[in-house]
Amino acid sequence: MGGLRFIETIDTFTAYYGRNFRTSYLFIDSVNNVLTTRNSSASVTNIFNHLSGNAYMQTVLDNLKAEQTRNLLTTGPTRDSLMQLMNSVSNLYNGTRSFYERIFAGAINIDYQLLTADAAKLVERLSNTNSSIDRLSRLQLYLSNFKLLELNRIPASEQTALTTTIQFIDSLKFLIVLNTADITNVIGKKAEIVAAIKADPSFSDVVFADAASYVQDFEARGQLTITPDFGVISYGFLPWNKNQGFRSINTYIGFHVNWRPLDKNLHFRSIPNKCWYSLHHWSTMMGITLIADKVDGKRDSFFGKNNLMIGIGYRLGSFLRLVGGTMLFKKYDINILSPEKKTACALFAGISLDVDLKKFVNGIADAFASK
């Protein structure tokens, strides 16, 4: 990969590399620059000015309409092809500058189909440009036949306009063909780089971060990233904290979003190249307490009989964690006449055990059902 010069971010990968998961960005050299140059304001404007709203395009459209009505052109396209041609000519005639820019980039095709706003969706862009080329080729063929067969019916004053129109359609097609080649090149290089990443022995178990590139399915990734747990916490334990006096012990169920995916089938110690502060240890947690801790006139549960907890976990081993964070509940107004309750929080710390996902989900259902 070192020999490639990267300019544009085409895709993002996350790969397990040594002790850490690292995010690698896939860039494509010069291709984007070339595209940008070809789609320069001047070239787009030039073609746009000659085709959009062009009087001769209107003439072509009128001829197509007449032919479709008469269906006299025995050597020309069929009725369906005529409809297709009329659509292409109409879109080119009525197209805005933005329409032309998007045709060049492959964001749409001439028929406004296969829309994709994402420049990184290369396959869709390729499909759009190929489709546009096909339409323009048919239009060129039609205009050439028209010129050959109907030249004697075209007034001399319009012959130049016809020739110019054919030339600009040719230019349009030519640029789109070049862009198609570029996009094909990008796709090829992307595959090449992905293959290089996968082949690199220092990378293992590559997980691609974009939706199209994940090696594992959603369920597998969820199992690696989200870990349910059950634990015991205490709060109001710090002598200098405001919450002092609100000292209690409670239990909770919750889940952790690991800061690094973790395969629990592997022993935690066997994960290589990690130290005590590695992100493998850490997680973001969210949970609910299981024992109601409410005192009339002072505090109430956040919802029902449960308080909400958010915090951070530190994994000690395959099953055990330390947790800490803040517990959210409701506090009454200090004025005994006021019925208002506001959200309040208290620091907590505790210890937890990982639990089975199915039991965890059932546990949540039971906790709410028994309210």
The DSSP result for 14-37, as a single string, is: EEEETTEEEEEEEEE-SHHHHHHH
H/E stretch holding 11: strand 8-17
Stretch that binds other proteins, among 121-129, 167-175, 235-243, 358-366 (CB under 8 A): 235-243
245 makes contact with other proteins (CB under 8 A): yes
Other beta carbons less than 10 A from residue 52's beta carbon = 17
Nearer of residues 145 and 216 to other proteins, judged by Cβ: 216
* 228 vs 182: CA distance, rounded Å: 47
The single residue among 168, 344, 352, 360 that binds other proteins, judged by CB under 8 A, is 344
Record the tokens describing residue 108, joined without a space. Answer: 């749409």
Q: Point out which span in 180-188, 190-198, 263-271, 305-313 binds other proteins (CB under 8 A).
A: 305-313
Is residue 244 part of the contact set for other proteins (CB under 8 A)? yes
d(CA 252, CA 352): 9
State yes or no: residue 298 binds other proteins (CB under 8 A).
yes
Within 248-267, the residues that bind other proteins by CB under 8 A are: 257, 259
Q: Is 40 exposed, middle or buried (0-12, 13-18, 19+ CB in 10 A)?
A: exposed
Collect all residues with Cβ–Cβ distance below 8 Å to 137 and sequence separation of at least 6: 173
Q: Which is nearer to other proteins, 266 or 295 (CB)?
A: 295
Least separation in angstroms between CB 117 and other proteins: 24
Question: Interacting stretch for other proteins, rule CB under 8 A, among 100-108, 117-125, 198-206, 236-244?
Answer: 236-244
Kindly state the tokens that stand for 236: 């109001």
Per rule CB under 8 A, is residue 76 in the interface with other proteins? no
List contacts with other proteins (CB under 8 A): 236, 241-246, 257, 259, 279, 282, 284, 297-299, 310-312, 325-326, 328-329, 331-340, 344-347
